[in-house]
């Protein structure tokens, strides 16, 4: 499988996503600092890093949810518009770290919602059931059922989303994202809360999505999952890209290991600041203790 990917890339290296120098600041906090990342056609790229490293914030910068403080993001050579629905329309779809489904709508309806950026009939036409709506509706329905079959939930089309077990809700989110017919799919912790069996199924599903010509960028904590799945992996630590390379390279990098184990290493981004904050905290604890006796 990897050989095939390499061949495809060598003959046709088309960049789907190109993020360069992306920085996102919230007041005094720099959540993402000058991150460069590309995703090519046919690729599955992984984004790892400890909690709070800036992974979700980076996704938000790619999808128009946040406008990066600095930097540029292009999709297939075009700068992305800074609005989530326009980004979806351009061809990037995503799932969320915290599942966002319409819990009181059926499984099928949730997928249909994902289609509305792709149907020519606007929302008004859909609501007013104007001419042309019926035909579009039938096509949308058919495509939504195909997608449910693809993720293995066709038998639950009429169930309310909230009645699905957690793992199936995650899959339904993927189906809804696919309904916008994306060229790039961003997955934020797709296997969070899944058992090993469900994780395996998700892995196969992502390979199948890639095989349909959709590039994938995936955030995940499960290292076995990431290293097995991805052609390339980037590791963010404290908002900066620390390492990027093949799973083998990243897996063996002592800085990545240290970042996960919390051991400081030479040249760690923000290491000095962390030390400063820790020193200041230690100082304030000491002074509190000395002035207020036994408070902690």
Ligand X SMILES: Nc1ncnc2c1ncn2[C@@H]1O[C@H](COP(=O)(O)OP(=O)(O)O)[C@@H](O)[C@H]1O
Q: With respect to ligand X, which residue has the nearer C-beta, 61 or 147?
A: 61
Q: Confirm or reject binding of residue 274 to ligand X (CB under 6 A).
A: no
Stretch that binds ligand X, among 51-59, 81-89, 120-128, 159-167 (CB under 6 A): 51-59
Q: Tell which positions 7-46 bind ligand X, by CB under 6 A.
A: 26, 29, 31
The answer to whether 3 and 229 are in contact (CB under 8 A) is: no
Q: Which does 46 bind (CB under 5 to 8 A by kind): Mg ion, ligand X, none?
A: none
> Site for Mg ion (CB under 5 A): which residue of 38, 56, 95, 238?
56
DSSP string, 144-197: HHHHHHHHT-GGGTTSBGGGS-HHHHHHHHHHHHHTT--SEEEEESTTTT--HH
286 contact partners, CB below 8 Å, separation of at least 6: none
Q: Confirm or reject binding of residue 233 to ligand X (CB under 6 A).
A: no
Q: Which does 132 bind (CB under 5 to 8 A by kind): Mg ion, ligand X, none?
A: none
Residues 54-93, one symbol each (x = binds ligand X by CB under 6 A, - = not), give xxxx------------------------------------
Give the pair of three-digit tokens for residue 123. Answer: 């929302």
Q: Report the alpha-carbon distance of residue 15 to residue 76 in Å, rounded.
A: 6
- Quick one: which of 158, 119, 155, 111 has its CA closest to 136? 119
- Contact residues for Mg ion, defined by CB under 5 A: 55-56, 97
- Contact residues for ligand X, defined by CB under 6 A: 26, 29, 31, 49, 51-57
């Amino acid at each position: 499988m990897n050989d095939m990917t390499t061949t495809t890339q060598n003959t046709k290296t088309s960049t789907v996503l190109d993020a360069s120098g992306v920085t996102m600041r919230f007041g005094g906090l720099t959540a993402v600092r000058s991150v460069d990342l590309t995703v090519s056609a046919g690729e599955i790229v992984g984004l790892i890093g400890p909690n709070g490293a800036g992974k979700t914030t980076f996704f938000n910068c790619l999808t128009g949810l946040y406008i990066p403080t600095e930097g540029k993001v292009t999709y297939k050579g075009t700068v992305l518009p800074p609005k989530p629905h326009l980004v979806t329309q351009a061809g990037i779809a995503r799932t969320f770290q915290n599942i966002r489904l319409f819990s009181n709508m059926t499984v099928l309806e949730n997928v249909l919602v994902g289609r509305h950026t792709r149907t020519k009939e606007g929302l008004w036409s859909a609501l007013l059931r104007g001419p042309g709506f019926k035909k579009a509706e039938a096509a949308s329905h058919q495509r939504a059922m195909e997608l449910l079959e693809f993720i293995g939930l066709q038998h639950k089309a009429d169930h309310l989303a909230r009645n699905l077990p957690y793992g199936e809700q995650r899959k339904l989110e993927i189906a809804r994202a696919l309904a916008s017919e994306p060229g790039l799919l961003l997955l934020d912790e797709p296997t969070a809360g899944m058992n090993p069996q469900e994780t395996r199924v998700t892995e196969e599903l992502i390979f199948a999505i890639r095989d349909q010509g959709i590039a994938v960028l995936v955030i995940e904590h499960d290292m076995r999952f990431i290293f097995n799945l991805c052609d390339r992996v980037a590791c963010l630590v404290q908002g900066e890209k620390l390492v990027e390379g093949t799973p083998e390279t990243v897996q063996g990098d002592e800085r990545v290991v240290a970042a996960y184990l919390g051991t400081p290493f030479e040249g760690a981004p923000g290491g000095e600041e962390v030390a400063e904050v820790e020193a200041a905290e230690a100082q304030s604890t000491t002074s509190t203790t000395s002035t207020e006796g036994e408070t902690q």
